[in-house]
């Protein structure tokens, strides 16, 4: 049964030989016979009933699987096998109906075998006739070039979009007259509770979204120190290990940045108004790796003429430097140029605009010598905002171009 299930998972989730290893490691870590009771205990009685009946299997989501199995256990399992935790959650959620069915089927088979008459020592003419009949059936199948096989297990699919690329976890906060208002996107409920506890001691209200498609937050242990004594008007945004400050006069911002650098470690703190010397950054890259080049592009702010696709003069200068550095890398890694907008206007219009702007960047880089086959442009419109769209500053940050490795 596990071999057939592993083949199905390998096909559906691109796991190859790792599919069987994933099932084996998971089953070594749990009590398979207790899986049904565990899911019932967490409120999935209807789903379990469908798995143990003859009808269609009700699916479970990867998020549900991760919550019940445990985020840390899932990550450890994925790390042990060198796999993406999201893919493991999807595959095991998909396989769960069959994994619950197997011990139940084995129990029913044992019961039937116990009640069946003892046919281990057939004798006389009836036994010979039965043996002769079996031989005829096997010979008939062999003559047709196939043998009967056991039916494949019925496995319920979670039917979710796969997310091979993880987006960064996010945090945005601003100080108003009413206190700190924040929004965050975190990987799991455990991180959500951790952030809530960190903000318990400050006047903070906001929302926390949980998304299995984002990375784990490296900043969550530092967030309390970042927002402590936060002055009115300050906007603080975190993406991965980058902290950006905005909203105060330059002198106050410089002083605050120094204070926060003393308070926390492991995070890069900069002013949103900072304009990094990209000329120096890219010029210093004599033979960069593709990862070093991508890190440098995160410092770029590609801008266009209002409402259009014409690159600004400063952006053309920056992109020229980026193209030259990419050529020096001699990398042929496929690069996705992703265009984004804010949430203002129609979604369809924003998607068209972001596509045209991403294509404009592609055409410019091709004009500077980068191979067209290496680049792909795609517009995502208002998807994946890095900060809230509620302010003009936030909307400006969300109108952006990103470079990343094409999946």
Instruction: Kindly state whether residues 254 and 282 are assigned to the same domain.
Output: no
Please, are residues 365 and 319 in contact by the beta-carbon 8 Å criterion?
Answer: yes
Domain finish residue from 237, 253, 271:
271
**What's 234's domain CATH number?**
3.40.1520.20
In a domain, 157, yes or no: no
Handedness of CA 62, 63, 64, 69 (dihedral sign): positive
Among 271, 301, 320, identify where a domain stops: 271
* Residues facing residue 156 across a β-bridge: none
Q: Are 212 and 89 in contact (CB under 8 A)?
A: yes
What's the angle, vertex CA 87, arms to CA 84 and CA 90, rounded to 5?
150
Residue 164 lies in a domain: no
Q: What is the CATH number of the domain that holds 34?
A: 1.10.10.690
Residues of the chain under the 70 pLDDT cut: 1, 103-167, 272-280, 305-307, 392-393
* pLDDT at site 402: 94
- Is 106 in the same domain as 6? yes
Do 67 and 194 lie in one domain? The reply is no
When divided into structural domains, the chain yields a total of 3
Consecutive H or E run containing 404: strand 400-405
Say if residue 264 is in the same domain as residue 299.
no
Q: How far is CA 370 from CA 300, 361, 366, 376, in A?
A: 18, 11, 5, 12
Q: What is the pLDDT of residue 121?
A: 46
The answer on 392 and 307 residing in a single domain is: yes
Q: To the nearest whole percent, how much of the chain has pLDDT over 90?
A: 17
Are 105 and 126 members of one domain? Answer: yes
Burial of 57 (0-12, 13-18, 19+ CB in 10 A): buried
- Distant-in-sequence, close-in-space partners of 217: CB < 8 Å, separation ≥ 6: 169, 171, 186, 187, 191, 195
101 neighbors 54 (Cβ within 8 angstroms): no
Cβ contacts of 65 within 8 Å, gap of 6 or more: 74, 89, 92, 93, 96
153 vs 332: CA distance, rounded Å: 43
Note the pLDDT of residue 304. 73
The answer as to whether 108 is a domain residue is yes
Specify if 264 maps to a domain: yes
Asked if residue 160 is part of any domain, the answer here is no
- Most distant CA pair in the chain: distance in Å? 104
Q: For 99-128, write each residue's pLDDT tens digit.
A: 888 765 554 454 444 444 454 444 455 556
In a domain, 148, yes or no: no
Nearest to 335 by CA among 383, 384, 284, 370: 370
Q: In this structure, are 256 and 286 located in the same domain?
A: no
Q: Which residues contact 111 (CB under 8 A, 6 or more apart)?
A: none
Let me know if residue 372 belongs to a domain: yes
SS3 72: helix
Give residue 126's pLDDT: 57
Phi, psi values for residue 402, rounded to 5°: -120, 145
Question: Which domain does 63 fall in, by range?
Answer: 2-143
Which H or E run contains 338? strand 335-340
Measure the CA–CA gap between 383 and 340, rounded to whole angstroms: 7
Same domain (yes/no): 133, 9:
yes
Distance between CA atoms of residues 207 and 192, nearest Å:
10
Residue-wise pLDDT tens digits, 322-368: 999 999 999 999 999 999 988 877 788 889 989 999 999 999 999 99
User: Do 254 and 200 share a domain, yes or no?
Assistant: yes
**Same domain membership, residue 114 and residue 15:** yes
Domain membership flag for residue 159: no
CA distance 282 to 309: 24
DSSP symbol at 269: E
Q: Sign of the CA dihedral 396, 398, 399, 403?
A: positive
Query: Are 266 and 291 contained in the same domain?
Result: no
The two tokens of residue 287 are 């033979």
Query: Contact at 8 Å (CB) between 97 and 154?
Result: yes
Which of 239, 271, 303 finishes a domain? Answer: 271
| 133 and 232 housed in the same domain | no
Supply the pLDDT for residue 397.
80
């Amino acid at each position: 049964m596990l071999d057939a299930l592993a083949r199905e998972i390998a096909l559906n989730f691109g796991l190859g030989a790792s599919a069987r290893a994933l099932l084996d490691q998971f089953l070594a870590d749990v009590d398979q016979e207790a899986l049904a009771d565990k899911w019932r205990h967490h409120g999935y009685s209807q789903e379990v009933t469908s798995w143990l009946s003859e009808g269609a299997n009700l699916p479970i989501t990867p998020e549900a699987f991760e919550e019940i199995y445990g985020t840390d256990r899932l990550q450890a399992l994925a790390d042990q096998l060198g796999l993406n935790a999201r893919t493991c959650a999807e595959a095991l959620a998909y396989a769960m109906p069959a994994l619950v069915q197997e011990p139940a089927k084995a129990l029913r088979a044992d019961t039937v075998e116990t009640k069946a008459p003892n046919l281990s020592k057939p004798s006389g003419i009836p036994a010979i006739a039965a043996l002769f009949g079996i031989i005829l059936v096997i010979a008939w199948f062999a003559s047709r070039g196939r043998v009967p096989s056991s039916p494949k297990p019925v496995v319920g699919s979670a039917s979710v979009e796969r997310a091979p690329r993880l987006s960064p976890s996010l945090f945005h906060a601003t100080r108003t007259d009413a206190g700190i208002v924040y929004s965050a996107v975190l990987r799991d409920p455990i991180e959500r509770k951790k952030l809530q506890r960190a903000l318990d001691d400050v006047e903070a209200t906001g929302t926390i979204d949980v998304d299995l498609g984002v990375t784990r937050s490296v900043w969550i242990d530092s967030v309390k120190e970042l927002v402590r004594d936060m002055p009115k008007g300050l906007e603080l945004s975190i993406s991965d290990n980058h902290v950006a400050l905005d909203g105060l006069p330059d002198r106050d911002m410089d002083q605050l940045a120094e204070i926060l650098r003393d308070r926390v470690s492991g995070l890069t703190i900069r002013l949103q108004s900072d304009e990094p010397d990209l000329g120096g950054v890219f010029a210093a890259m004599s033979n960069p790796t593709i990862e070093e080049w991508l890190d440098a592009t995160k410092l770029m702010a590609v801008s266009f003429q209002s409402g259009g696709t014409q690159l600004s003069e400063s952006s053309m200068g920056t992109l020229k430097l980026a193209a030259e550095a990419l050529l020096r890398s001699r990398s042929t890694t496929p690069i996705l140029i992703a265009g984004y907008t804010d949430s203002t206007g129609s979604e369809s219009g924003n998607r068209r605009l972001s596509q045209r702007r991403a294509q404009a960047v592609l055409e410019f880089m091709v004009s500077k010598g980068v191979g067209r086959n290496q680049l792909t442009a795609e517009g995502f419109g208002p998807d994946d905002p890095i900060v809230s769209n509620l302010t003009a500053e936030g909307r400006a940050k969300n109108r952006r171009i990103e470079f990343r490795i094409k999946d």
